[in-house]
Chain A
Amino acid sequence: MGMTMIEKILARSAGLPGVAPGDVVTVNVGTAVVIDQNFMHNRMREPKRVWDADKVVIMLDHIAPADTPMRANIHKAARKFAEKQGIGKFHDVNGGLGICHQLVADYGYALPGSVLACVDSHTCSAGAFNCAARGIGHPEMAWVLATGRTWFPVVETVRYEFVSELPRVLNGKDVILHIANTYGDHAMQNVEFGGPGVAGMSMNMRRTIATMCAEISTEFAVFEADERCIEHVRSQNPDAVFEPQAADPDAVYADVRTVDLGALEPLVAFPDTVVRNSRPVSEAADVRIDQAFIGSCANGTLDDFEVAATVLKGRKIAAGTRLIVTPGSQAVLLEATRRGYVETLLEAGAVVTNSTCGACCGYSNGVLGAGEVCITASTRNFKGRMGSPEASIYLASPATVAASAVRGSIADPREMM
């Protein structure tokens, strides 16, 4: 029986000739990503010895630089751990700072055809690189670091075939909102993305889609590896050895669904979930906003700075509204500065912050108060996610968020681009 992409990656990582839905397999982990959250409250008890220091990466991201003595101690613990275990790939508070999933992409840590593990739920982001990447929680991370192995259930796979090309104003965010709206959650399912439409998607766009698969509860979400993907990994991580996995022609799917990218329109998810909760932007047009946010591991890329700058060029943020823009990494910020995007944003009245998770998880740089309304281009709009449980969080693409900041209420970006 043929296997899907994910089944092939799991089989390969488990050293098995084949796997099928219903199996639980023990796999070798290719890359383990440790973040500042691991060290908080000793959530991840440290193993005495890491199985392979070269396969471990450490990143400070959820709150960095430190905002309290507690966070400073968390960062100290991470530094000490890196030193003790001889882990060289350490992203501290310096030029290498960034949100873990952005850095995994930018530094080529996600190797096609392999397994990547991190505590964080949006680890599926690395699926853009044909990598079976998954959030595994804190205790499991201790086990992975000690042994280099973990277990996964093999579940059925849904395949999405992308055809035609996405209109310029649209973003991967609109694509995933469409999927979440049409098909609902994908709990206990894998998702693989392929088809002729993938070729026209930037790696950033693929990553937005893969990252957001946490919101539809997939087990794994993986893209086909095309030349663009492989070239990206090779250029960023020249020494890496990897073997991309394609689906067998006779792979068995729970369903195969075609998404016509050219037919999509900008969508807005209404507060509390993205699952079956989005509407065309026109239907949200009278919603007044206090805050607009562009950032997070899903939409803090150079592409997102570019689109925000395109919308904001020669315009001003509406009075009584604030736009906060947080880059996915300091490297993104540097390049966005060089290209003049940051200047455009600042001139429009936006506040551009350092790279960190920040407002996305309600920790810093734009936390919401009771009764406030926010439109965000981050990952998740659960009640209370960005601060007060009495705030309302709408979720959309960076273009829609930037246009809304100009209008002071939710706006269609097609009118400004």
Chain B
Amino acid sequence: MTIQGKTWKFGDHINTDLILPGPVMLMPYDEQPRHVFAANRPGWVDEVGAGDVLIAGRNFGTGSGRPAARSLKVLGLSCLVAESINGLFFRNCVNYGFYAMECPGVSEAFEEGDVAEVDFAAFTVRNARTGQTLQGRTFPDMLLKIIEAGGIYPLMEAEGMLADPNPETA
């Protein structure tokens, strides 16, 4: 799987409360992604386009177990490449079917707006402008398969493991 997209750059320790603020979680599910980064980068949700790539620094997604990765996916981002990704956030990326890779050196290698080519077979990231290719950290096939399936729910659905959603809490 190779993803190509325009990049947006964020710094170190971008936390879940910036991605999805607490009070926003009480809003209807479909409205929540509209408030991503409202505190640190207001207006960004109107600029980001389908297929764009998020480049970030160290420990991206530190904080809560809330569905912040889902919000990034719903906004249309195709993947996340960060110096490092918080363990719980990475789990949520896998389980919501959002492609994510750790790649040391990625912050230096990209200026915002550069086009990235992210290869989830070789786990490499290439900057189309500079031609530089970086090696990311691999993860097992078992996890890649969950992402490719669109997350854990489609897999469980296919196995007949899930009950119908509760209309009262939708």
- What CA separation (Å) do A76 and B168 show in the bound complex? 9
Contact of B168 among A73, A139, A140, A380 (CB under 8 A): A73
Chain A min CB distance to B74 (Å): 12
Contact B84 A384 (CB under 8 A): no
Given A24-B140, A137-B65, A187-B59: A45 and B165 within 8 A (CB)? yes
Q: Give chain B's interface residues, CB within 8 Å of chain A.
A: 13, 15-18, 21-23, 25-26, 28-29, 38-40, 58-59, 62-67, 84, 86-88, 91-92, 95-96, 139-140, 142-143, 151-153, 156, 160-163, 165-166, 168-170
Contact B92 A137 (CB under 8 A): yes
Stretch at the interface among A36-44, A286-294, A397-405: A36-44
Given A47-B156, A138-B67: A185 and B161 within 8 A (CB)? no
In this complex, what residue of A is CB-closest to B89? A137
Query: Which of A41, A47, A136 has its CB near the most chain B CB atoms (within 10 A)?
Result: A41
Besides A47-B156, A219-B87, 6 other A-B contacts (C-beta < 8 A): A42-B166, A46-B166, A121-B16, A121-B64, A217-B87, A363-B26
Contact B23 A387 (CB under 8 A): yes
A residues in contact with B168, CB < 8 Å: 73, 76-77
A residues in contact with B160, CB < 8 Å: 48
B residues in contact with A73, CB < 8 Å: 168-169
Contact A385 B22 (CB under 8 A): yes
In this complex, what residue of A is CB-closest to B68? A137
Contact A151 B84 (CB under 8 A): no
A315 at the interface (CB under 8 A from B): no
Contact of A217 among B26, B59, B96 (CB under 8 A): B59
B residues in contact with A389, CB < 8 Å: 21, 38-39
Contact A45 B67 (CB under 8 A): no
A residues in contact with B21, CB < 8 Å: 384, 389
In this complex, what residue of A is CB-closest to B38? A389
Contact of A137 among B95, B156, B163 (CB under 8 A): B95
In this complex, what residue of B is CB-closest to A382? B17
Contact A42 B86 (CB under 8 A): no
- What CA separation (Å) do A217 and B21 show in the bound complex? 19
B residues in contact with A77, CB < 8 Å: 166, 168-169
A residues in contact with B65, CB < 8 Å: 119-121, 135-138
A70 at the interface (CB under 8 A from B): yes
A362 at the interface (CB under 8 A from B): yes
A residues in contact with B161, CB < 8 Å: 47-48, 142, 146
Contact B95 A385 (CB under 8 A): no
- Contacts A/B (CB < 8 Å), 27 sampled: A24-B139, A37-B66, A41-B28, A45-B153, A46-B163, A47-B161, A47-B163, A48-B162, A73-B169, A74-B169, A77-B169, A134-B88, A137-B67, A139-B96, A140-B91, A140-B152, A142-B161, A143-B95, A143-B152, A187-B58, A273-B15, A380-B63, A382-B17, A383-B17, A389-B21, A389-B38, A389-B39
Contact A382 B15 (CB under 8 A): yes
Given A121-B63, A382-B15: A137 and B91 within 8 A (CB)? yes
A residues in contact with B92, CB < 8 Å: 137-140
- What CA separation (Å) do A136 and B163 show in the bound complex? 20
